[in-house]
Structure 1
């Protein structure tokens, strides 16, 4: 059986825990999240305007990739280039490997000329890869809402500007 002293100590500890839980701070809806607005209404939400690049393709400053094999951001104006189909893709005109160097564009990587299902190298870009803006987004000069302290690590210096995804996939798990 528990001693009287142990019972008193356990009771006091229980009271302390219960009173600590009861004195929790409450927050207003406007204090939650980054938007600082009523969470149940979109009436007062005004998006910050986005400062996309208006520089023509080939004349823009390229941002570093966020991490190894991250899809690169689009550094140039994309007006009139989106709404891609397999038959009509404005990106391939400059980014196909045989054209890219001549126009100073980032070439489409080897991984886009590989069928992951059949494990075969293709002679043309994979039909699963024609929708470029599914992974690649235009660069914006907006300031982040929250400071990002992430520091990427690259296995090679080329990883900052070029993809080696297919090589990495072929390495397998080590």
Structure 2
């Protein structure tokens, strides 16, 4: 009983200290525009120069960090929207086609049911068919803020290959 009372008092003091020391951030301080997030008067969509190289002719882009979804390095006009019945990405990126197409094959994790710990036997898992959920085309733009992040890959091929399925449970016991 005494322990519960002391714990409750400590928790109350901790929460009060957090509330006192927390600095509120206004909408004007969030984001790159430095104006209220609710102000949409001056919002304009910039004309973005997307990678225009067709599939098979583009330069492959390194991953941003270990097991990051790679960027789509080619033009995707005419390939979207992706539906369960029509997915143009699979015509080149499924393992049985990738080598001949010169494409990056989907990793083993896309052919595996992670929830039920079951190999799908080379079939793309139902939760992985909308490729653009994770993979996005690379835009040719200047970054609004400098980025000095340098990825540290554990595997020498980590910038071009995924080993997610092999390391998914690293550190979990």
Give the TM-score normalised by the residue count of structure 2.
Answer: 0.77
* 2:148 is the counterpart of 1:149: yes
Shift of the alpha carbon at 1:156? Answer: 1.1
Q: How do 1:1-174 residues align onto structure 2 when only pairs under 5 Å count?
A: 33-37=31-35, 39-123=37-121, 124-173=123-172
Call closer, same or farther: CA 1:86–1:45 in 2, change over 3 Å. same
Call closer, same or farther: CA 1:33–1:121 in 2, change over 3 Å. closer
* Matched pairs, number: 147
8 Å contact from structure 1 (residues 37, 44) kept in 2: no
Deviations 1:34-77 (A, max 9, x none): 22556543122223321101111010012211000000000000
Gaps of 5+ in 1: 1-28
Take 2:132 and 2:29, find their aligned partners in 1: how far apart are those partners?
A: 34
Shift of the alpha carbon at 1:141? Answer: 1.1
Deviations 1:87-143 (A, max 9, x none): 110000000101101111000000001101110111211011000000000011111
Larger of the two Rg values belongs to structure:
1
Take 2:31 and 2:84, find their aligned partners in 1: how far apart are those partners?
A: 40
Take 1:32 and 1:113, find their aligned partners in 2: how far apart are those partners?
A: 39
Take 1:32 and 1:154, find their aligned partners in 2: how far apart are those partners?
A: 31
Call closer, same or farther: CA 1:56–1:30 in 2, change over 3 Å. same
The 3-state SS of whatever aligns with 2:56 is: coil
Take 1:119 and 1:31, find their aligned partners in 2: how far apart are those partners?
A: 44
Take 1:140 and 1:32, find their aligned partners in 2: how far apart are those partners?
A: 23
Call closer, same or farther: CA 1:101–1:30 in 2, change over 3 Å. same
Shift of the alpha carbon at 1:30? Answer: 7.5
Q: 1:15: which partner in 2?
A: none
Take 2:170 and 2:36, find their aligned partners in 1: how far apart are those partners?
A: 49
